[in-house]
Chain A
Amino acid sequence: MRDIHIDQISETVARLFIDAAHNLPDDVVAALERARDSEESPLGRQVLEEILENAKLASAEMIPLCQDTGTSVVFVELGQEVHVVGGTLEDAVNRGVAKGYTEGYLRKSMVTQPFSARKNTGDNTPAVIHLELVPGDRLRIKTMPKGGGCENMSRMTILLPGQGREGIANFVLRAVEEASGNPCPPLVVGVGIGGSAEYCMALAKKAITRRVGSSNPDAENADLERDLLEKVNALGLGPQAVGGTNTALAVHVETFPTHITALPVAVNMQCHSARIKEAEL
């Protein structure tokens, strides 16, 4: 067993959220530059120029990329040989979020009882934590400050098995077209296919944590990703939906076996400010 103290986890989570809020990852910047270079709409290009200039300014002057510093979504891959000491993993993550959002001057957007009190918790806790047990003695943390604009455009359905690939494409296109400018295109569209209802949405969320433009290792899934990206961009929404040829930077698909009666499909959208950072302890 390898001991990892909760303080180390908290410090890492705090650092990753501050980093994520200010520094757009290289893969995202590269994808935005490609979009700017290929964009056919002059207004769409102007929007992409402003987005790229924003990324430079945010990093150089330590101003958050976006005022919506999100729900704090944290993916933890915990090696089975790791022993977390000094407290619980959940507390460690939440302490890190509180520290990062307070010391980093990030916006605290979490409110209590969603349908009544809605009182701000004051430090953006609690985090939404996805824990996965993996082999080994390492602890891997991915942080995602997930903005409301794109998260609120999530969709989930259970198609009939016979609707197949065509049904999936039409569902994804409807979700993107109806979301229009709300989720801040150009998007990374996460698509989960299979599993159970809740697991399907988790797959869609996991899909957007991949490096932008990376392909699913399965050839059929990768082909579906290319097909969906081409179709999403043919919608013509463009950057911020002002019209254009770059509605999405990428479509990422993740699949899982499912029940004989079902074809679950979930869409989780990521705005162009795809602020995901990771570290390994």
Chain B
Amino acid sequence: MSIDIRLPLTDQTIEKLHAGDHVRLTGVIYTARDAAHKRIIEALDKGESLPFDIRGQVVYYVGPTPARPGRVIGAAGPTTSMRLNPYTPRLLEHGLKGAIGKGGRDRTVREAFKKHKAVYFLAVGGTGALLSKRVKSAEVVAYDDLGTEAVRRLEVEDFPAVVVNDMYGDDLLEQGKARYQQRDRLGSYVPVEENAEGSNGGGS
């Protein structure tokens, strides 16, 4: 069962979403990954206006393959969200309401989603072909020189995703692991208490 969501996200919609909900998003989202986030933060630092109004919007962490002629976009699956952790709280302060990526977020970012009444969604990593079919239009709106990392405005229809972090502070990855972990089959291994707090980069 999926929940159909019309974008932009309203507070009313966000209140209804809980970690573990499967959703289908329809509407406008903006792509941004490492290099674009860096520039957005620099613009905010200088008090400059942003290439798009992030208030109420959803960003998608993706760097697509080049589109074949006649196609809207190439493969367009999510990249590892953890690399964007240093930037996300700042964007949430400026009104961002949602983000789509893969993998978990650190505690600071999870707190920021809760504090700013926003949602972090997971799209299935490695399904770039499937997700590309849900993109109906794509247009570069900023930082064209960044190539695959440019900011694009995408119109999506029935874009499948899963709520990982909701506004109530719940985390799907933590819940899922707690439910399915079989500690008696792990030998002398002591599981980590904290999920998704790795120290290195992530990719895609």
Q: Which chain A residues have a beta carbon within 8 Å of chain B's beta carbons?
A: 40-41, 43, 46-47, 50-51, 53-54, 57-58, 61-69, 105-108, 120, 147-153, 166, 169-170, 173-174, 177-182, 184, 230-231, 234-238, 240-245, 271-273
User: Which B residues lie within 8 Å of A178 (CB)?
Assistant: 192, 197-198
Evaluate whether A230 and B102 lie within 8 angstroms (CB atoms) in the complex, with A57-B129, A149-B203, A180-B195 already known. no
User: Could you say which residues of chain A place their CB within 8 Å of the CB of B177?
Assistant: 235-237, 241, 243
Q: Does B201 contact A (CB under 8 A)?
A: yes
B79 contacts A68, CB within 8 Å? yes
- Minimal Cβ-Cβ distance residue in A for B71: A63
The 8 Å CB contact of B74, one of A67, A237, A241, is A67
Which of B82, B148, B180 has the most C-beta atoms of chain A within 10 angstroms of its own C-beta? B180
What are 25 A-B pairs with beta-carbon distances under 8 A? A54-B129, A58-B128, A58-B129, A64-B129, A65-B129, A66-B128, A66-B204, A105-B66, A105-B68, A107-B63, A148-B80, A149-B79, A151-B203, A173-B186, A179-B198, A180-B195, A181-B103, A231-B187, A235-B181, A236-B180, A243-B175, A243-B180, A244-B176, A244-B180, A272-B126
The answer, yes or no, to whether B179 is at the interface (CB within 8 Å) is: yes
Contact B202 A182, beta carbon cutoff 8 Å = yes
Residues of B within 8 A of A (CB): 20, 22, 62-68, 71, 74-77, 79-80, 82, 102-104, 122, 124-130, 132-133, 147-148, 160, 162, 172-173, 175-183, 185-192, 195-198, 200-204
How far, in angstroms, from A64 to B201 measured CA to CA in the complex? 23
CB of B179 within 8 A of CB of A243, answer yes
Given contacts A67-B74, A68-B203, A174-B192, contact A238 B176 (CB under 8 A): yes
- What distance in Å separates the Cβ of B23 from its nearest Cβ neighbour in chain A? 12
B65 and A153 form a contact (CB under 8 A): no
Which residues of the other chain, B, contact A69 by a CB distance below 8 angstroms? 65, 75
Contact partner, A147, options B62, B68, B71, B203, Cβ 8 Å: B203
CA distance A231 to B186 in the complex (A): 5
| A65 adjacent to B103 (CB under 8 Å) | no
Verify A152–B200 contact, CB threshold 8 A.
yes
Known: A66-B75, A107-B63, A240-B102. A234 touches B188 (CB 8 A): no
| Cβ B127 vs Cβ A50 within 8 A | yes
The total of interchain contacts (Cβ-Cβ below 8 angstroms) comes to: 225
The residue in B62, B176, B186, B198 that gathers the most chain A C-beta atoms within 10 A of its C-beta is B176
Interface class of chain B by DSSP: loop
Contact of A107 among B65, B130, B192, B202 (CB under 8 A): B65
Known: A147-B204, A178-B192. 7 other contacts (CB 8 A): A65-B126, A66-B128, A67-B204, A107-B64, A240-B122, A242-B176, A271-B125
The answer to whether A149 touches B80, judged by C-beta atoms less than 8 angstroms apart, is yes
**Cα A182 to Cα B201 with chains together (Å):** 9
In the complex, chain B residues whose CB is within 8 Å of the CB of A151: 203
- Which chain B residue lies CB-closest to A185? B125
B176 touches A41 (CB 8 A): yes
Question: Of B74, B175, B202, which is within 8 A of A148 by CB?
Answer: B202
- Most B CB contacts (10 A, CB to CB) among A50, A181, A241 go to A181
Residue of A nearest to B35 (CB): A118
Are the C-beta atoms of A240 and B124 separated by less than 8 Å?
yes
- When distances are taken between beta carbons in the complex, the residues of chain A under 8 Å from B77 are 66-68
In the complex, the answer to whether B82 meets A182 with C-beta atoms within 8 Å is: yes
Give chain B residues whose Cβ lies under 8 Å from the Cβ of A153: 198, 200, 202
Chain B, Cβ-Cβ closest to A272: B126
